[in-house]
Chain A
């Protein structure tokens, strides 16, 4: 590295304050410029590679998730085939119930939890208000969940879509 010190001359506090490049020989300056350009090009190429790697990493993660869900998917197909053969509704419902539990297990293993909504106080950080309706419940209480929301490791995957109470009808009219 000793040969490279010239490029950094201006970083040296003991160096004269005059423009360091002025003291460089043209050949030294040229070699500094070349090194700078190569470093910059390397950074550009590194960024390109990272972009490529990130997208292939994303692909592989998606593959993994899909693999997890293939088992319940296949079980669902088994359920239909079995129902086709014996038309036993009770058995079919029991089977589908198990498959549902399997889905729930996968979600749980992946740290996915449902966002508590029904009866909770509306919070825009985790709930998405789709409707407001008069109800006996206190204002801003969630009275209906239109679609549940989920979060994972504290991050909201999907906010739950909810109907929020506007309080008893009369109160609203006064407001």
Chain B
């Protein structure tokens, strides 16, 4: 096992640590069970040193010995004076930062179950040499070998894998809890060049919360004449409610803030209940957001770039979850906007990737491809039955067992299709072949294993094998994963757009297949049982079968088919008991029979190609 190099986002308010595991960055949960650690250090009166959440919780009781936002002082002569056990002690910003790093290091060691020595640490793009050196020194003091200091925006770009794309210009918009940064980077052949960087060191999500608190206090004053701002318990509840409602408005258009028994006056208890719409909230913070856009403009000017020169925008920081932020930035900068990775963790994730590259882990692994689209075969009713789902890492192999749809079917046709649509015909056809020479057997009895094997080069080998005779037939498809991005995108969108109608069609086909299967089984049971079924019952059931088949032939609606199926099931209950037994015993999925149709297996979703052997009654 190679030595792990951890990636650390050493932030002003919060820090985060991640490590590359199996080729993907994983954020490490700290001892308190959280994925980010407040960048706060405290010295208690008894000389105990606290870092992170605990330090933050006691800050108000111990303000002189609690240090937050030390990042702002990195690389300066600033000294922190604290009193420990009655003695004054002096620390440099590097030393305080090292205490945060030490906690992250020990949390990482607890997670990885071994010593961690090497790290990549991120810094803002605007950090000068002495600030970078100070950060490196902080790492050293913490017992870390700092393999590299990288820019936060660069780390974010790495997390999105933008170093692997073609040459491009990206804008990183980083709006955190308390700081705002914009950087414009040029990426070419894995080299990152910061063209310009700007920001506002005192602007972030905490300001947005405060606006909601102010509004609530004002509204409550208007309604009741009571000023909540002087009531610490009420203010605490307002703070929590403000943050919660801000978060909720990222996914909902409106939220209601309930704070029952917020206070009381002579007339009795008072409750606060206010509706806050997304639009109202956006109005409250509009000036802040405009300020960020002005900074974006200034940064573009400094980089001598127009908005249209930006190929991609990367969003970093929790506040970029606010839909209005996304809207403003994408209307100002028309390029593609990336925000799929958790914006609180994306910088640490990128640092971990840099660590992986330095450790040689990334090269060694040779990133494996994934199947861009689902690979299926056509089964009964022209349905596409998936063998390999999209996004499966290759090389891989999957086998499913199918059967025939007709009695004495001599051959099955295997039609391989690619795409997310439910119907085979709506997907891209990759190839067809036949497996012939099946011995005569009732439908549902033959077992045909269809195996999809994709090698590392994306070449798909499809084999169909009849279990009884061991006869097999196969096809090789060269370009199963060689689609260009535009085509993949188009096919996925196509599937999304048609999802509902496809669902209806599959439901209809399933209902038809069920009806057909039932009619067949009941008919067979009638024949098998012979005179054990009395004549009137027999003719009633035969009548039902005939009517159900008429519905199938006349392409009746799903409701009608279901109703007739149910009627037949009811009418033939005793017979059905026998018939069902048979049908369940042979519920293997009928594959595409030559000249006929294929039909899907009932229980093929749950497993990965394992076929549970059924016992067969030799009738």
Taking Cβ atoms with an 8 Å cutoff, the residues of A that contact B are 34, 37-38, 40-45, 47-48, 122, 124-125, 127-132, 140, 144, 146-147, 155-156, 159, 161, 163-164, 166
- 19 cross-chain CB contacts under 8 A: A38-B396, A38-B397, A40-B22, A41-B393, A41-B395, A44-B23, A44-B368, A47-B22, A48-B392, A124-B50, A128-B57, A129-B57, A131-B232, A144-B233, A146-B236, A147-B233, A147-B237, A156-B32, A164-B60
> Interface digits, B566-585 against A, CB 8 Å rule (1 contact, 0 not)?
00000000000000000000
A155 touches B368 (CB 8 A): no
Complex contact A132–B61 (CB within 8 A): yes
Interface of A is mostly: mixed
Checking B57, B60, B396 against A42 with a beta-carbon cut-off of 8 angstroms, the contacting residue is B396
Task: Tell me if B57 and A124 are in contact (CB < 8 A).
Answer: yes
Q: Are A48 and B57 in contact (CB under 8 A)?
A: no
Residues of A within 8 A of B397 (CB): 38
A128 CA / B236 CA spacing, docked (Å): 11
Q: CB distance B33 to A155 under 8 Å?
A: yes
Q: Which residues of B from 40 to 84 have beta carbons under 8 Å from A?
A: 42, 50, 54-55, 57-61
Select A130's contact among B32, B50, B236, beta carbons within 8 Å: B236
Q: Known contacts A124-B50, A130-B236, A146-B236: does B395 contact A38 (CB below 8 Å)?
A: yes
User: Which residues of chain A are near B232, meaning CB under 8 Å?
Assistant: 130-131, 146, 163
Expressed in whole angstroms, the Cα–Cα distance for A147 and B259 within the complex equals 13
Interface string of B202-239 (1 = CB under 8 A from A): 00000000000000000000000000000011001100
CA A166 – CA B61 in complex, angstroms? 8
Q: Which residues of A contact B236 (CB under 8 A)?
A: 130, 146-147, 161
Query: Residue of B at shortest CB range from A47?
Result: B22
Decide if B456 touches A45 in the complex (CB within 8 Å): no
Residues of B within 8 A of A159 (CB): 57
Cα–Cα, bound, A93→B425 (Å): 65
* A41 and B368 contact, Cβ closer than 8 Å, known pairs A34-B455, A130-B236, A147-B237: yes
B58 to A129, Cβ gap below 8 A? yes
**B266 CB-CB contact with A under 8 Å:** no
A140 and B396 form a contact (CB under 8 A): no
Residues of A within 8 A of B50 (CB): 124
The verdict on A146 contacting B456 (CB below 8 Å), with A127-B57, A129-B57, A131-B60 known, is no
The one of B33, B55, B366, B391 that contacts A124, using a Cβ cutoff of 8 Å: B55
- Given known A34-B456, A146-B236, A161-B236, contact A44–B393 (CB-CB < 8 A): yes
Specify which chain B residues have a CB less than 8 angstroms from the CB of A127 in the assembled complex: 57
Choose among B42, B59, B391, B455 the residue that contacts A48 (Cβ–Cβ < 8 A): B391
With contacts A124-B50, A129-B61, A146-B236 taken as known, whether A40 is within 8 angstroms of B365 at the C-beta atoms is yes
Q: In the complex, what residues of B have CB within 8 A of residue A38's CB?
A: 395-397
B370 to chain A, nearest CB (A): 8
The docked-state distance in angstroms from the alpha carbon of A97 to that of B23 is 55
A129 touches B60 (CB 8 A): yes
Distance, CA A38 to CA B57, complexed state (A)? 49
Interface pair B395/A34, CB less than 8 Å apart: yes
Q: Which residues of B contact A144 (CB under 8 A)?
A: 233
- Does B24 touch A at the CB level, under 8 Å? yes
Task: Please give the distance in Å from B610's CB to the nearest CB on chain A.
Answer: 15
Q: In the complex, which residues 510-562 of chain B have their Cβ closer than 8 Å to any Cβ of chain A? A: none
Which one of B32, B33, B61 lies within 8 Å of A164 (CB-CB)? B61
Q: Which 5 A-B pairs have the closest CB atoms?
A: A44-B393, A124-B58, A124-B57, A124-B54, A41-B393
In the complex the two chains form, what is the Cα distance from A40 to B366 in whole Å?
Answer: 10
B368 touches A37 (CB 8 A): yes
